[in-house]
Each structure stands twice: as structure tokens, then as C-alpha cells.
Amino acid sequence: MFELGIKMYKPLSDCKDKTLIYGSKPMLLFSGELFNVDMKYMTLKSLLADLFKGPTIEKIRTLGVEHQFHFVLSSDKNLCLRIRKINLSTINRISSSEFTFPPLKTPDGRAVQISLEDATPSVDFELRRVCLPSEDKWKRAHRVPPEVIKGDKTPKNKHTDVFGSRIGRVHVGKSSELENLRPGPSIRTALTGHRKRGFERIKSGASNSGKTLVSKDVNANKRRKLFTDA
């Protein structure tokens, strides 16, 4: 819990230019070493970011970023909020002596110069009270129910086609691994104790089939000779 008191406030009505688009994403900028050192101010930074970041989106248009929220922590008790408008102006002629860095370019290829203009509202806060939760309460607050975790997981190798039927894929190992598997127990293995692997059984079957084919061919030739002699 953070309690902030307002020492100075400049309303939105004091701004001359009110052309900001409603719902646009702001650029958040935090200045101050305490934001990165002290856990208390790191928590304050996280709360301010959650409060002003707006809706979560996947993509953003760089030219659509029109304003900046600048939080300045000058001391352990003073926090300033300044809002500035981002103006983009095209550059007709580019000279290497004017810019130390290459200028920003739009997707059209035009060079653009960025300038900041003070806008409203502007607020100066005073940090009055801070009450952080204990580690146990903090962990319990960040727990996610298992029902939510299960709901977020997408099923693998499953999809629904256009007609609404569910289709799944089953991945099977390589055929070479299946051939090397040992056969199950049988009467022969129980009596002799010898087991043949898959490729051994295939080889033995091929050799036996070759022998039988040769014997059949020999008998057929003998019969032909007998009929021809007769």
C-alpha cells in the first residue's frame, strides 16, 4: 500500500493542444536510481506501470505513440509526473553534420525528427505512507488456481476442422526400432530358451521360402521331362 499526497496539480484544461487520441498507448519512462535499487520503489514502479500501461496488445504502431508519461523520483519522498506530447516532423534535407545518429525513418522511407512538447496533466506527489505485505502474503497473492493453468494450456497434436470434428495425431517410432523388438514368450521359447529377434525371423523366413521355391522348380522340371519323353 502506497499513500501519495498531491502537492501540485495542473489540470488538463490548461493544455492548449488537445488532439490526443483516446485509448492510445503511452510511453512510460521512469527516472531515478531508487527505482532500480530499493525494493519499495521497485514495487511502486510496478504499480504505476500496471495503472498507466493500458490494455495488453500484441503489436503496436510506432507512429501511433503520441504521448509520454515521465515519472521522476527526485528524492525518497518526492515523485513527479510529467506528460509530454510526441511530435514527428519530416526532414527534407539530411546533412551528416547536423545529426550524430542516423535519423528515424518511417515505413515510407521519409526521415522524421522527434520533438517533445509539455502537456497536461502534471502532478507532484509526496510519498507519505508505505506498507508492504509480508513474503507469505505476497506469495499467496501471486498464486494461480490450477483450473486457470489447465485452461490456458492448448492441447498438443489436436485440432478441430471446418466441420467441427476433432482430429488428433499419434506419433509412432521408427520402423527399424520396431523390427529390433524381441517377440513375446511362446511355447518354443519356453522349451528351448532361444529367442529370435524380428530381423532374424525375417531372414530365416526368407531362406526357408527360397528353399521351398527351389524344390518346387526342380520337381516341375522333372515332370516336364517325363511328359516330353513319353
Helices (H), 5-144: 34-37, 39-52, 135-141
In a domain, 81, yes or no: yes
In a domain, 122, yes or no: yes
pLDDT at 87: 82
pLDDT at 222: 55
pLDDT at 45: 92
In a domain, 187, yes or no: no
In a domain, 159, yes or no: no
pLDDT at 185: 55
In a domain, 176, yes or no: no
pLDDT at 212: 47
pLDDT at 79: 93
From CA 53, how far away is CA 55, in angstroms rounded?
Answer: 7
Which residues neighbour 52 within 8 Å (Cβ) at sequence distance 6 or greater? 26, 28, 69
Q: How many CB atoms lie within 10 A of CB 65?
A: 14
In a domain, 61, yes or no: yes
End-to-end Cα spacing for the chain:
116
pLDDT at 214: 45
CA dihedral sign, ordered 11, 13, 16, 20: positive
Which residues neighbour 90 within 8 Å (Cβ) at sequence distance 6 or greater? 110, 111, 112, 113
In a domain, 178, yes or no: no
Q: pTM to 2 decimals?
A: 0.56
Domain count, the chain: 1
In a domain, 26, yes or no: yes
Which residues neighbour 160 within 8 Å (Cβ) at sequence distance 6 or greater? 166, 167
Inter-residue contact 98 to 113 (CB < 8 Å): no
pLDDT at 187: 53
Of residues 85, 65, 74, the one with CA closest to residue 31: 74
The dihedral formed by the CA atoms of 25, 83, 51 and 29, expressed in degrees to the nearest 10: 80
pLDDT in tens, the chain (230 residues): 889 999 999 887 877 766 666 667 888 999 998 898 888 899 899 999 988 887 777 777 766 778 889 999 988 889 999 988 888 777 776 665 665 667 777 777 777 778 888 888 889 999 998 888 888 888 888 888 877 776 656 677 888 888 888 888 877 666 655 556 555 555 555 455 555 555 555 566 555 554 444 444 555 555 555 545 54
- Give CA 25 to chain center in angstroms: 21
Inter-residue contact 24 to 67 (CB < 8 Å): yes
Instruction: Provide the domain limits for residue 83.
Output: 2-152
